[in-house]
Amino acid sequence: MSALLEITLIVICLFGQAFFAGIETGIISISRMRLRHFVRQGDPGALALQGYLDHFDRLLGTTLIGTNLSVVILSVVSASMASRWLGSWGEPVSAVVVALVVLIFCEYLPKAWFHSRPIERSRRYAGLLRIMEWVFKPLSAGIIGLSRLLVRGGGEALASPAPFVTREDLKVLAQEGERDGVLSPRERFMIHRVMELSHKSAGQIMVPLDQMTTVTIDTTVGEFRAVARQSGHTRMPVYDAKQESYVGLVNIFYILSGRRVEMDRLVNDFSRPLLYVRESMPVDDILPVMRRARQPLCLVRDDDKQVVGLLTTEDILKEIVGAL
């Protein structure tokens, strides 16, 4: 074998090993949410990548054969060249040099390169991977069949890792939707704010105790209407000074629902049970609780069960859409 042919084989094997190691890492690192976006657009590379993720054994079979063939051919050819040039020192020198080159240029660098931008770079080379899959089909078919027999007992193909959708995935998808004109900047902003609700607690967005508008059990309907008109609030907790506690929630609509209401009647007659939440409770957990209780307002308590503020659905909506 001529020296030129041997050098050509070595270069091809190095590139081959780098390609298979890198693209395998890239495909595994792909965000399923981002990939789904390109699949819906009919991108050929994305469709190919989705096929590999749906049938993971195809990816493993192709990259396994490609990597091992490259390693074997590289080792044999480089050892042969080194033995001719260095004599008895050829094989050990070849082993050390090949190991270092493979570790740096065929493993670490390509994997890091594909991992840094997995979907863009994997899409670019998905066609080449399909070609290599077709070339290795006779060998990979046997490996895939054996893996199904051993791993699944002859059942279905080896499945890809289960898709895992995170809040960051949804944020990225919203950014791409805005860039593609599917979402407006306002809609993207609202989606991001929804994703951040889990990081905020009731205590962070509540109306503090000293800013609450309340009435007492002795407040009349007429007085309540005057307070509601002045404050702009239609719902208020009812406070019992003797018990030093809140005993109910009064809503102006509870009062107006009656046909005729005397102005000197006590609002406590129209109050309903209060809903309480912990000060540390995440905001995204509070909305379902309020919806199940059919309460648009809840009182916030600290660890000592003392009321420290109140929270309304409007307060939560402000966190999503901004000032109402």
Q: Which of 151, 186, 211 is the last residue of a domain?
A: 151
Same domain as 93, residue 13: yes
Q: Is 211 exposed, middle or buried (0-12, 13-18, 19+ CB in 10 A)?
A: exposed
Is residue 157 domain-resident?
no
Is residue 191 domain-resident?
yes
43 in helix, strand or coil? coil
Instruction: Give the pLDDT of residue 162.
Output: 47
Is residue 156 domain-resident?
no
Same domain as 8, residue 79: yes
Q: Are 106 and 11 in contact (CB under 8 A)?
A: no
**Look-up of token digits 């205590």:** 203
Residue 195's CB: how many other CB atoms inside 10 A? 17
Is residue 291 domain-resident?
yes
Is residue 59 domain-resident?
yes
Same domain as 11, residue 147: yes
Same domain as 26, residue 137: yes
Same domain as 111, residue 36: yes
**Look-up of token digits 């009656």:** 258
CA distance 267 to 249: 9
Instruction: Give the pLDDT of residue 163.
Output: 47
Same domain as 228, residue 181: no
Is residue 130 domain-resident?
yes
Half-sphere exposure (Cβ direction) of 87: Cα atoms closer than 13 Å? 1
As for how many domains the chain has, the answer is 3
CA distance 50 to 307: 52
Q: Which CATH number is 247's domain given?
A: 3.10.580.10
Q: Which of 88, 121, 151 is the last residue of a domain?
A: 151
Instruction: Give the pLDDT of residue 45.
Output: 92
Domain boundaries, position 294: 199-321
Is residue 161 domain-resident?
no
Q: Are 258 and 251 in contact (CB under 8 A)?
A: no
Beta-strand ranges (E) seen in the chain are: 207-208, 215-216, 235-240, 245-251, 276-278, 297-301, 307-312
* Amino acid letter for position 45: G
Q: What is the pLDDT along the chain (324 residues), one digit of tens a residue?
A: 678 888 899 999 999 999 999 999 999 888 777 788 788 888 999 999 999 888 888 888 899 899 999 999 998 999 888 888 888 887 888 889 988 999 999 999 999 999 998 989 999 999 999 999 999 888 877 776 776 677 655 445 555 444 445 666 667 777 777 776 767 887 777 777 777 777 788 989 899 998 998 999 989 888 988 898 888 888 899 999 888 889 989 888 777 765 566 788 888 888 889 999 999 998 888 888 888 888 889 999 998 889 999 998 888 888 877 655
Q: Are 167 and 197 in contact (CB under 8 A)?
A: no
Is residue 160 domain-resident?
no
CA distance 171 to 191: 7
Instruction: Give the pLDDT of residue 187.
Output: 78
| 309 contact partners, CB below 8 Å, separation of at least 6 | 202, 203, 206, 207, 208, 209, 211, 212, 279, 299, 300
Per-residue burial over 155-170, b = 16 or more CB atoms within 10 Å of its CB, e = otherwise: eeebebeeeeeeeebe
Same domain as 21, residue 140: yes
Q: Are 299 and 307 in contact (CB under 8 A)?
A: yes
Number of H helices, E strands in the chain: 16, 7
The DSSP line for 306-318 is: -EEEEEEHHHHHH
Tokens describing residue 197? 């609700």
Q: Are 283 and 197 in contact (CB under 8 A)?
A: yes
Same domain as 131, residue 29: yes
Same domain as 245, residue 210: yes
Instruction: Give the pLDDT of residue 135.
Output: 92
Q: Are 73 and 6 in contact (CB under 8 A)?
A: no
Same domain as 215, residue 185: no
Same domain as 191, residue 145: no
Tokens describing residue 128? 């080449």
Residue 144's CB: how many other CB atoms inside 10 A? 19
